[in-house]
Structure 1
Amino acid sequence: MTHRRDLTITDVRLTPVLISDPPLLNTQGVHQPFTPRLIIEVTTETGITGVGETYGDARYLEPARQLADALPGCEVSDLNNLVPLAGLVCAPPQETSDAVDAGGLRGVQTADKVLLSVVSGFEVACLDALGKALGLPVHALLGGKVRDTVDYSAYLFYRWAEHPDGQGLKDDWGAALDPEGVVAQARRFVREYGFTSFKLKGGVFPPDEEIAAVRALAAAFPGMPLRLDPNGAWSVETSLRVADELGDVLEYLEDPASTTARMAEVAAGTDLPLATNMCVTTFEEIPEAFAQEAVQVVLSDHHYWGGLRNTRELAALCRTFGVGVSMHSNTHLGISLAAMTHVAATVPNLHHACDSHYPWQTEDVITRRHEFRGGRLAVSDAPGLGVELDRTALEALHRRWLDDDGGLRDRDDAKAMRRAEPGWVSPSVPRW
């Protein structure tokens, strides 16, 4: 078989990093002062390099190394071979469980899900390299954009002013622990980034307190779309009560209860749309959820689903079954945000503004940070993703990872919370 030199992979470089993260609260605990990510570089015979990004926790690193070792000699265009190759060469991750992921709040964690998250970073890197080789943006490789800008939502968090013991990098956002603090945070997001919709991470305080915060947002920003996400912390009864009390102001309620069965019970008792990034995160989980009408909006995440092309396949299934689609976010850097924006630009049925943690991240590995204007990101038409690695920043963040004693190389929000509350144990669900 003849290989194109500009498409043939000769080298794969993996660089785990630790990036700063503010003390953002969720039902499992609080974000650590630094969180791990993995930067993937795929280089072809002619020196073209594509970049990707995914989770950097230990359970992702070994399969990533095994896949990286197997890729030289393959072509960056051979994307359909990534999942079979990963299944062939990657040993099952050792640290998986049937419990909810205490860091990503993704839902049940399995070996297959870890492998898909690994593959996602390699697929993005290959698409970036392929786009550069062909002189085409990634969105063109996915079928072409249907919009020139992508809407994003302000991601609001209850948070502390700083990490326990003064750890991590400091910022000037201050604490947000009540409705007034949440509204002040939202005003700053509007002022600095122009966002026109809001999502509040809930499951932190008793439901009545979070209802009050959403009501305060509705009063401060009348008519703007609002979402609330307690990450499955509520019982069916509590979920229905909140849905009843906030049904007139919420765009949707995200994962109020854990498991598809509980979500189906909630959905049967309310007209308020339910969204998820916890009970539907793989294709295998779709039939049960759609058959039971448990969710009305699926929040895709290309890290979960195995890449950008699978994200488009998910969107097509949602369109077929009349289910809305948007995008979930976790703590990510500019490479992942670029990838999100490219695939979002190609999805006709993108019904809601996408989530993004990016404004909370003060560090990056690209030379030019993305800029939100009017709550939107422009879709790049440059070859590939349209981003360039900042080698100095990458090395500094990798040095932080190397210097860590291992305590921060795996995200664990419950462990981080125990620095402030030594007896803290992640609550079982339902919490309320």
Structure 2
Amino acid sequence: MAQGAGTRDLSIAEVRVTPILVADPPLLNTQGVHQPYTPRLIVEVVTADGVTGVGETYGDTKYLELARPFAAELTGRQVSDVNGLFTIADELAVDGSRVEGRVDVGGLRGVQTADKLRLSVVSAFEVACLDALGKALGLPVHALLGGKVRDEVEYSAYLFYKWADHPEGVVCEKDDWGAALDPAGVVAQARMFKERYGFTSFKLKGGVFPPGEEVAAIRALAQAFPGHPLRLDPNGAWSVETSLEVARELGDVLEYLEDPALGTPAMAEVAAGTDVPLATNMCVTTFAEIEEAFTRGAVQIVLSDHHYWGGLRNTRELAAVCRTFGVGVSMHSNTHLGISLAAMTHVASTVPGLHHACDTHYPWQSEDVITERLAFRGGRIAVPDAPGLGVTLDRDRLAALHERWLADDGALRDRDDDAAMRVADPEWVTPAVPRW
């Protein structure tokens, strides 16, 4: 039987913020290649009764510098006061020179702002508080969000053009995925995803090679996996004209085309010229960006990401706005571990009308900070019904990954796909947009 809140001391007694570096394969995108290790931030919120909740978000320096003073403000507050997290965040100063106007490489989600940074930090603390509250009350997080409407959440295989290894001389963890640099390699990678995890839909990260080559890769996938939903995401690397040409060539096989052109005006032009649905995680990343995108018909599917929307409850609010406008909703993914995947699964289970499989990088991550990895069966994850998120922090593993962060000279503490590419190609310059 669940204990009532009145029998527990739900005040926050301690907050721990732990930056880590986790292994990442050499996955290619339009800005470069993933570094051999990527930063993540693990948050622990401990109640006076000794209940610990966990959260996870981006671990770059700019997030860590905000998370530490944020954590200091939480002691003594009620773990149930998740609305108060946003008030605390609003009062914290952000170094604008590190953020404003720059392109956010993490997730390739458009221009950074101080508010986006704050929300990305809040998200980890909100999840940690909900995890602790659920454990204290004996309730799963999805129950705190109003209850699940599905018992499983479907995910999509996230395909990448990929080198077999990181550049020679770079210290890194090895993986067994091999290279994928042409249509045959992409199809082989998709077969591995299906065999290992049972995925039945596939998304290819594009913007790496000329559009004709990526069209050929999608065609090869359509031939190898007839009837399977396919998506292509070049992260705004194409012009409006190129986007429309690709939409014409692939209109019979694409479930949707994600961020083919950069920004709402360009996306609106593309949308006006094609019947292929357009999805985004770049031009609609805050509530303030919704009006223009929806009223101009620029997007038909919003890919939420609880990390930069400010948490699980804001994700549900976004889904409600999308329903109001008849816009579809699913989930974006960046390099993440099991804590974030559990949080994604909980909130996705509560969203009505989730008609598109969610993205996930999780199969690419060979390392984790939880004791038991979440398992995909038939491309789906069963929604946990244990109290909180239903995951347990592996403290030994957390400590080891934190030691790796401490041992780093600072080169890997901020994700930089451009710098990682220059290790292999010193002449590399981040391509101007549109690239094609």
State the TM-score, normalizing by the size of structure 2.
0.97
* Aligned residue in 2 for 1:221: 225
User: Within the alignment, does 1:140 sit opposite 2:143 as a pair?
Assistant: yes
Q: Report how far residue 104 of structure 1 moved.
A: 2.3
Query: What is the alpha-carbon distance in structure 2 between the residues aligned to residue 95 and residue 423 of structure 1?
Result: 25
Q: Which residue of 2 aligns with 1:180?
A: 184
> For the residues of structure 2 that align with 1:87 and 1:99, how far apart are their CA atoms?
20
* Distance in 2 between residues matched to 1:370 and 1:29, nearest whole Å: 29
Query: 2:397 pairs with 393, 398, 412, which one?
Result: 393
Q: Distance in 2 between matches of 1:103 and 1:115?
A: 15
Aligned pairs for 1:405-424 (under 5 A) are 405-424=409-428
8 Å CA contact 1:366–1:389 kept in 2: the answer is yes
CA positional deviation for 1:94? 4.5
Mapped to 2, the partners of 1:129 and 1:6 lie a distance apart of: 12
Q: Do residues 238 (structure 1) and 242 (structure 2) align?
A: yes
Does 4-13 or 39-48 show the bigger shift?
4-13
1:108 maps to amino acid = V
2:366 counterpart residue number: 362
Distance 1:224 1:6 in 2: 50
Matched to 2:88, the amino acid is: L
- Aligned to 2:218, the other structure's residue is in SS state helix
- Which residue number corresponds to residue 302 of structure 2? 298
* Per-residue deviation, residues 178-201 of structure 1 (Å, max 9, x unmatched): 000000000010001000000000
Match of 1:165 among 168, 184, 187: 168
Asked if 1:25 is matched to 2:28, the reply is yes
The answer on 1:204 being equivalent to 2:208 is: yes
Deviation at 1:359, TM superposition (A): 0.2
One-letter identity of the residue aligned with 2:154: D
Q: CA deviation at 1:428?
A: 1.3
Is residue 2:55 matched to residue 1:52?
Answer: yes
| In 2: Cα distance, 1:93 partner to 1:75 partner | 31
1:102/1:414 contact within 8 Å kept: no
Which residue of structure 2 aligns with residue 120 of structure 1? Answer: 123
Question: What is the aligned partner in structure 1 of residue 103 from structure 2?
Answer: 100
The alignment status of 1:254 with 2:258, answered yes or no, reads yes
CA contact (8 A) 1:13 1:41 kept: yes
Cα deviation for residue 202 of structure 1 reads 0.1
Given the superposition, is the C-alpha separation of residues 76 and 94 from structure 1 closer, same or farther in structure 2, using an over 3 Å criterion? farther
Deviations 1:359-391 (A, max 9, x none): 000000000001100000000000000000001
Gaps of 5+ in 2: none
Identical counterparts, % of pairs? 76
Per the alignment, in what secondary structure is the counterpart of residue 98 of structure 2?
coil
1:82 is matched with 85
- C-alpha distance in 2, partners of 1:213/1:91? 42
Q: Which of the residues 87, 111, 116 maps onto 2:114? A: 111
Report how many aligned residue pairs link the two structures: 431
The CA distance in 1 between the partners of 2:7 and 2:40, in whole Å, is: 31
Secondary structure at the residue paired with 1:384?
Answer: coil
Please list the CA deviations of residues 52-74 of structure 1 after superposition, one character each: whole Å capped at 9, or x if unmatched: 00000000011101110000011
C-alpha RMSD of the superposition: 1.1
Deviation at 1:101, TM superposition (A): 1.6
* Cα distance change of structure 1 residues 46 and 93 upon mapping to structure 2, 3 Å threshold: farther
CA contact (8 A) 1:6 1:47 kept: no
Shift of 1:95: 1.1
Partner residue in 2 for 1:380: 384
Q: Give the match's secondary structure for 2:194.
A: helix
CA distance in 1, matches of 2:38, 2:183: 27
By how many angstroms is 1:97 displaced?
A: 3.3
Q: C-alpha distance in 2, partners of 1:190/1:281?
A: 30
Q: State the Cα distance separating 1:103 from its structure 2 match.
A: 3.5
Alignment pair present for 1:73 and 2:76: yes
* Secondary structure, counterpart of 2:359 in structure 1: coil
Using the alignment, how far apart are the partners of 1:4 and 1:290 within structure 2?
46
Separation of aligned partners in 2, 1:284 and 1:124: 23
- The residue identity in structure 2 corresponding to 1:8 is S
- How is 1:285-364 mapped onto 2 (pairs within 5 angstroms)? 285-364=289-368
Q: Which AA in structure 1 matches 2:77? A: C
